[in-house]
Amino acid sequence: MVKGADGADLPVDGPAEIVDAGVDPARLGRRLARARVGVALGAGGAKGWAHIEVLRGLARAGYVVDAVAGSSIGPWIGAWTALGNDIDAVEGLLRERFDDATVQAVFRRGGSDGVEAMTRVAMETTAGARFDDLLVPLAVVAADLSEQRALVLAEGTLASAVVPAMTVPGLHPPARRGRQRLVDAVVLTPVPTAALADVDVTVAVNLLARQALDRWPGAAATGPSSDPPTGTRSSKRSNWRRWARPPPGPPPRTFR
């Protein structure tokens, strides 16, 4: 039995759940109402500006984001949001930190210059924060070239996760973490909905409008069909640079 405010016993339907006194009442209410919202921020490079407006639209409609997952550019927006920045501050970080010089280094020159530029921006905008410091759970998705699979990064510093998540194969050298060689997971999990946990409603932001691969490029099929997924190539000469190409169409608009 549970005691009421007047000391009387109140009936309880099922076992009572002990709730930590430090739990946010609003978050607890969304949990009980099965209204927890998770947002999966997809890959897309410069199209990542769309994430800003999605989050702004959710906030204006009164929705609170309870968990975030992201691939490629997605974890950067997610990390800044999960640190407690409002959407205007997140937009300001994206505009100020990814200026023309940084964009040239990351997406044009690439190589070690690109990695150094990403690392500098990540460290300056997260100030050494760790996943444990976040106000909202964040799952960063990358691909491991060594084990040929996508994996979730959710420990350590934010900078050590968001940089590998946007390390484009063929443009930047893989990020090494022990035996792992981590790169952008865009071709495997462009919209990482499966990385979200403890949510009731999922908002998926797909910036590429293309189908993900059902297996590592060149790997043998494990299912009944050996046909490649729609929009992919079956050539053995396929490499990560080819698979990471954006879909055909007009160039993305430049936002200033």
pTM of the full structure:
0.74
Indicate whether 239 pLDDT > 90: no
Instruction: Pick the closest to residue 96 from 115, 80, 111, 72 (CA basis).
Output: 80
Rounded CA separation 222/229 (Å): 13
Q: In the prediction, which pLDDT does 25 show?
A: 81
Rounded CA separation 68/82 (Å): 8
- CA 58 to each of CA 15, 28, 76, 79, 233: distance values in angstroms, whole numbers, following the listed order: 35, 19, 18, 17, 37
Residues 85-127 pLDDT 10s: 999 999 999 999 999 999 999 999 999 999 999 999 999 999 9
Indicate whether 226 pLDDT > 80: no
Sign of CA dihedral 182, 188, 189, 194: negative
Q: In the prediction, which pLDDT does 101 show?
A: 95
Which residues lie across from 71 on neighbouring strands?
141
